[in-house]
Structure formats: structure tokens, C-alpha cells
Structure 1
Amino acid sequence: MAEERTVPVPSSWMTLSGRYGRAFARACDIAMALGVLMAANQYSEDYDLVLGFLMALCLLARRRFPGTVMAAVLALTVVQFVLDDRPDVPLASSPAAYNVAVLFAMISVVHHSRTIWMPYLAGATVLLATLAGTVGMPPLGIEPFVDLEVLLTFWGLTLTVWLTAFSLHTRRLYAESQADRALHVQREQEQRVRLAAARERADIARELHDVVAHSLAVMILQADGAEAVLRKSPDMAQSALKTIAATGRDAIDDMHRIVRVLREGNPDSADSADGGPPRRLVTLDEIEVVAERARAAGLTVDVSVEAGEGRLSPAEEMTAFRIVQECLTNVLRHAGAGAGVDIRLHEEQDTLLISVVDDGAGTLAGRGVGGSGGNGLVGMRERVELAGGSFEAGPRLGSGWHVRASIPTRTKR
């Protein structure tokens, strides 16, 4: 299993969302707007309260339209200075405390803008606006209103606020990226679990198919044969019944093993846990056993196994055995008694080659009685591909069927 990755979870205050997050954000907007309005209420000129109210109203939309809000607040600030520099009677105070709305608008652009250049543009705009205060704006009738010392103070305050907002903006983006990454990792882990469960189900399905299909095919044919010769040849009927009993016992043992794996989830320990019987290892020697049962069911089986003893791993021997078993099952189901089967297994250049060929000359040839719907071929192909080999199956010229598989071997030293 792949190593699990852990992702740091961002602080809850950075990832506040949902109903509470929206309520908190709205409360912050209202608090800023009230602060600006209360500051404007401290001045007695005719338009101070109106300008402060309009600035506060703009700040309520700062999260959704940060750039537009900042442009509107700057425009209201220009109007404020124009009204203050009237030659007869000033209609507004400038600079005033409610000009803090400009800093609030700049914070909104830095913190909520989704473009890279907008935070820098907002900071530069505020710095240039304060710089204009040292020279004034003659076309608009605005005279210089700050000296160098005040300018440096404004710049220091602006830079401090900008850096704080930018750091919070960076931290928010980092928190969002970490949250997205954590969600991505969680989905990957869930996907791995689903894939592992699907592979396990496929493995169990192959095992059940191999055990049940082969055992039932042999038992049914033996039972039919025993019934046919019960009175004429009791000895043959007795032999068929013994084959049925042996096949049933092996099938029950395999079913018990599969059930233990389903219950305990560990195929290596399930067979010996709780005092259960030891696991029955399947080797190439078992091929002769299933071949003998197939002969007893009426097939003519020729087996040749040329593989060094102890040179194949248990998984490789299991794969080879199941392929041969499934081939014999298919011959019994589709050709029936009387068919001839040639089984060849041999090693060649660190590869186990398997060839199973039948002549299709059984009593059921051409009728396809009891077909498995292709599950057997699918299971064989999956087994071989999992072992890293190749698989080929198809009809022969004339009659019969052939199955060929090659499995890379890891020769034991």
C-alpha cells in the first residue's frame, strides 16, 4: 500500500466558511462602514457627513467589487478636497479622519482581488495620491496640503497597512491551497480504497468461479454417468461416486478458505487463525489430480509438465493450475465426455508456457450446454495479466479450442 500523506490543516479562523463565515464577514463590513460614518460625524462642514456616508456605503460592497469600491472611494476623496478648497466657504474638511476609508478600500483590493497585479496597483495608487498632496492638483483647484514629514508619515502608515493586508492575503491563499490539497489527498485515498476493494472482489470472483464451476461440472457429469451405469456396472458407479465425494471435499475446503478471507481480510493468516485447518497449497502436482477426475468424467487427457521442482513461486503455480483447471472445465461443459485434451507446461527462457488444446469431439460438441458466459476466459486473462504475462484463446481450425498463456517466472535460487 502506498505511504499515506498528511497535509497540515489550516487554522479554523482562516477557513471559516458557511453561514458563520458569511455572518462574520458581513459584521466586519458593517463595523468598517460604521467607523467611517462615526469619523465623518465629528466634522461640521456641510458635506462631510454626506461624503462619509457615501464612502461607508461603498465599503459594504468591498468584498464583491473591491476594485470598483476603491475607485469610488478615491473619487469621493477628490470631491472632498475640491469642496474644501473653495475660495469662499469650505464645504468639506480635508484631510479628515474618515479618509481611512481609502485604506479600507485598499485592504479590500489586496485581500480579495483574484488578479496578481491588483494589490500592487492599489498600493501604488494610494502612495501616489498622498504624494500629490505635496504638490496639489491645480487643474482641480487643490492646493498642497502636506509637507514632507506628513508625507513620510502617510507613506509609512500606508505601507504598514498594505504589508499587513498582503500577508493576510498570502496566508489565506495558502490556507485555501492546503485545504484543496487535503481534499485531493482524501479523494485519492478513497479512490485507492475503492480500487483495492474492486481488485479484491475480482480476485474472489475468480476464485469462486474456478472452484464452483469446475467442481460442479465434474460432479454433474460423474453423477450422470453413475446413474447411467448404476445397474449395469456397480463398480463404475462406485468410482464415480468416490470422484464426486473427493471433488466436493476439495471444493468445500476451497470455499472455507475464501470465506475466511472474506471474514478476516488476511489471506496469509486466515487459514490458521482460531485453530482452523492449514491452508491447502496448490501446486503443479494438482494438475494430475484434476486431469484424473476429468478422465473419470469421460475426457481423454494427456498431460506433460516440464518445470523444475521448486523453481516456481506459489503464485505462479496457482496461476498455472487455475488456467488448466478452467480449460478442463470448459471442455467438460462445451464438449463433454469423449473429447481429447492435450495439456503442455514447460519452461523456456524464464517463462512458463502453458498450452491446452482440445479436439472438440465430445458428446456435447456444437451444443454449448451450460456455457459460463465468458467469465472463465475473462478470469484466465486477468490472472495471466496480473502475473505480467500474455494470454490467447480461440477456436481451432475444424473443431476444438486452444488456450495458450505465457507467465514470466521468478526462478527460486
Structure 2
Amino acid sequence: MEDGPLFPARWWWALLDLAIATFVATLAFQHVPVSLTHTLIGFGMALSLLLRRRAPLVAMALVYGLGLLQLTLTRELAPYDVAVLFTIAAAVTYGSVRQAYAVGAAVAAGLVFTWFVDTSTGDPLVFGLIVALGAVVWSVSLVLRQRKDAAELYAERAAAAERERDQLVKLAAAAERAAIARELHDVVAHSLAVMIVQADGATFVVEKDTGRARTALQTIAEIGRDALGDMHRIVAVMRGDSEEDASPTRRTGLDQLGVLAERARSSGVAVSLRVDADGIDAAEELTVVRLVQEGLTNVLRHAGAGTAVEVDVRARDDEVELSITDDGAGTPGGREVGGGNGLVGMRERVLLHGGRFSAGPVGGGWRVHAVLARRVLSR
């Protein structure tokens, strides 16, 4: 735990105010042998100065009132009238802008009153010196006040910018977590769905048809290796490695659609695949692959083996259209994988590309339709 300063800033300001009040009181003390009125008024001004920081307008009103009383009774200025300058500085520096200009008006009125009452200011040179001194104190105090306001404004803006930056960091982290969760869901849910279907099939035929069982087990192993590779790629991206460094020989492109279709066919789903999407960029290819992957996963989970699915991917000049339609004629399995977040993830992927997404029953089956706003690549 770090120790604070030996003398806090407020102590130094209190000592400064006490020193100023002592200085004015000393000037007033010099009038003790001459005039008790001067002495009492001077001491009153000195005590009023102790309030100049906490209540600057009150301190100025007290000092100004005592000054007017002094001019009325003694008809002359005194050295301790310097207290008026200290209260002017405090009222302008710590008050509002409106109060600062009100103080300026009060100073001008006081100078006019002094000109008519004080016999010692009859010399224009002396009076001009007093006016100049009051104007300088007021002007310098106003500049200091404006600088203080500017410093507070900059500090407030800096604090607001820091809060905004922290909020943006949190939002970015949340978006990154959502993207990673979406990617993990697509990889794990599809792979597990196919592996479960293949494992169930192998269990049923292991004693009757060892060849089909062996093929199913080989498919499970292949899917597991691919899923593990995808997991390594995602983890590498999370650690900050580039995708090329993480997986130099594997790229998620449209060629993966054939692999996904073949895996679905091996699980008993009749997939008809039509792809006409040359020239789309890597991000669009990845989105299309993930949408098809999730769509086939949903067919395996909800419609089951025996379902016929049509997958159609077409690229136009300004968009990529994708549809996945099944006839719902399959036999759903008895177990499901996942928590029903697939459609939400698909919609989020499409919206990231500024596209449109819809999903719902059609005939006896289900249809997923997505349109991505295409970014045309330069040739």
C-alpha cells in the first residue's frame, strides 16, 4: 500500500489562505496607534479572507461591505484594502462565468465610488493606477478560471473516452466470444451428429455385415480427425496465430461441400448438391460451408436417415443465395446432440454479411434460405 503525500493539497491551500489573512491583519495592526476604526475594519477583512476559497462570494461581499464602510467613515484608502484584490481573484476564479462578470461590474462600481469619496485618489495618475490594478487582477483571474474549466473539461473527456474504450473492449470481447462459440458449435455439433449416426449404424450391423461396420468406424475416425483439426485451428486463432500458420494445408472452402454431402449420404441422407458460386471470397465461402454444415446437421438430428435433401448454392453479381430443403421423410434417431442454437448461429452469420435469413416448414419437411450480400472480387 502506497503512502499518500505528507501534506495534502488542501493543507497547502489552507496555509496559503492563513498567510494572506495574516498579511492583511498585519497591515491593519499598523493602524492601532492611529485609528481603532481602521484596525477593526482591517481585522474584519482579514477574517473574511479565510472564507475566500469555500465561499468566495460571501468573502467578497464582506470585504466589499467593510471597504465601503471604511471609505464612508475615513474618506481614504488603507494598505489593508489589498484584501479587496484577493477576494476579487477568488470570486472570479471559483465562481461561475455570470458571477465573474457580476464581480467585474461590482469592481467598476467600487472604483467610481472611490473616485467620489476618497480624497487621496484625486490625482488622475493614482486613480488610473488603482483602476489598472483592479482590471489586471480581474482579467488574470478570469483567464485562470477559464484554464481551470478547460482542464476539467479535458479531464472529463479523457475519463469518458477511457470509459468508452473499456466498453468497446468489452463489446469486442463479447463479439469474439460469440464468434468462437458459433464456430465451435458448427464444428462440434455437425461432427458429433454424424459420428453418432455412424456409430449407431455400426452397432446394428457389426455382427451381420462387418464390412459396413468397418466403413462406419473408418468414417467416424475420419470425422474425428477433421473435427480435431478444426478445433486446433480455432484454438490457434484464439491464441492470436494466423489461420495460415495454424493450418497451412487446410482451408475451409466450397470444396468442403462435397465432403459434407458425402458424409451425410453415408449416414443415410440422400443429398442432392448443386453449386454455382465461382468468384466469391474466402469469408463468403466459409459462411456458405458453415450454413450447409449446420443445415445437414439439423437434418440428421431432426429428420434422420431416409431423408432427401436438396442443397442449392448460387452466386449472382451482388449476392449469394443458399437453400437447404428436406422432405421430412426420414426416421429421426432417438437421441439428439446440442441445445437448439443452430438456427440462431446461422442467422447471425448471415446478418454479418448484411444478408437475409429465413427458416421454416415447407410441405412435409423444412427449408432454410439465406441470401448473403456479395463482395465482388477484383479480377
Query: What TM-score results when the alignment is normalised by the length of structure 2?
Result: 0.92
CA distance in structure 2 between the aligned counterparts of 1:269 and 1:111, rounded to whole angstroms? 62
TM-fit CA distance, 1:154: 0.4
Alignment pair present for 1:393 and 2:359: yes
The partner residue of 1:227 within 197, 203, 228 is: 203
CA distance in 2, matches of 1:337, 1:57: 96
Confirm or deny that 1:43 pairs with 2:35. Answer: no
TM-superposition CA deviations, 1:219-256 (whole Å, max 9, x none): 01100110111011111111111111111111011011
Residue 410 in structure 1 maps to residue 355 in structure 2: no
Q: Which residue of 1 aligns with 2:288?
A: 320
1:107 partnered with 2:89: yes
Among 201, 213, 217, the residue aligned to 1:237 = 213
**For residue 330 of structure 1, what is the aligned residue in structure 2?**
298
Which stretches of structure 1, 4 residues or longer, exceed 4 Å deviation after superposition?
none
User: 1:370 and 1:410 mapped to 2: Cα distance?
Assistant: 37
In structure 2, the partner of 1:28 is: 16
| Match of residue 348, structure 2, among 368, 382, 386 | 382
Q: 1:267 aligns with which of 238, 242, 246?
A: 242
Query: Distance between the aligned counterparts of 2:22 and 2:137, measured in 1?
Result: 19
CA distance 1:266–1:35, shift in 2 (3 Å): farther
Give the CA deviation at 1:145. 4.2
Q: Does 1:284 align with 2:254?
A: yes
Give me the CA root mean square deviation: 2.0
State the shift of 1:372 in Å.
Answer: 3.2
Q: Distance in 2 between matches of 1:393 and 1:182?
A: 47
Matched, 1:300 2:270: yes
AA matched with 2:351? E
Deviates more, 1:105-114 or 1:335-344: 335-344
Q: Partner residue of 1:133?
A: 114
C-alpha deviation, 1:269, in angstroms: 5.2
8 A contact 1:131–1:151 mirrored in 2: no
1:7 match: none
- The equivalent residue for 1:189 is 165
User: Given the two structures, how large is their TM-score scaled by the length of structure 1?
Assistant: 0.84
1:23-61 deviation digits (Å, cap 9, x = unpaired): 232222222222221221111221333322322222222
Residue 124 of structure 1 is matched in structure 2 by: 105
Question: Structure 1 residues 270, 102: CA separation in 2 closer, same or farther (over 3 Å shift)?
Answer: farther
SS of 2:313's partner is strand
Q: Kindly tell me: are residues 322 and 47 of structure 1, through their superposed partners in 2, closer, same or farther at Cα, counting changes over 3 Å?
A: same
TM-fit CA distance, 1:68 = 2.4
State the shift of 1:64 in Å: 3.0
Q: Secondary structure at the match of 2:36?
A: coil
Q: Distance in 1 between matches of 2:152 and 2:28?
A: 37
* Structure 1: tracts of 5 or more residues without a match: 1-16, 86-93, 137-142, 272-276
The count of aligned residue pairs is 370
Q: Within 5 Å, give how 1:77-116 maps onto structure 2.
A: 77-84=67-74, 94-114=76-96, 116=97
Mapped contact 1:339–1:360 kept (Cα < 8 A): yes
Conservation of the 8 A alpha-carbon contact between 2:317 and 2:376: no
Kept in 2, the 8 Å contact 1:331–1:358? The answer is yes
Q: How far does the alpha carbon of each residue in 1:166-215 deviate from its partner, in whole angstroms, 9 at most, with x for none?
A: 22112111211221222222223222222222221111111111111110
Alpha-carbon distance in structure 1 between the residues aligned to 2:245 and 2:346 = 25
Query: Is 1:157 aligned to 2:133, yes or no?
Result: yes
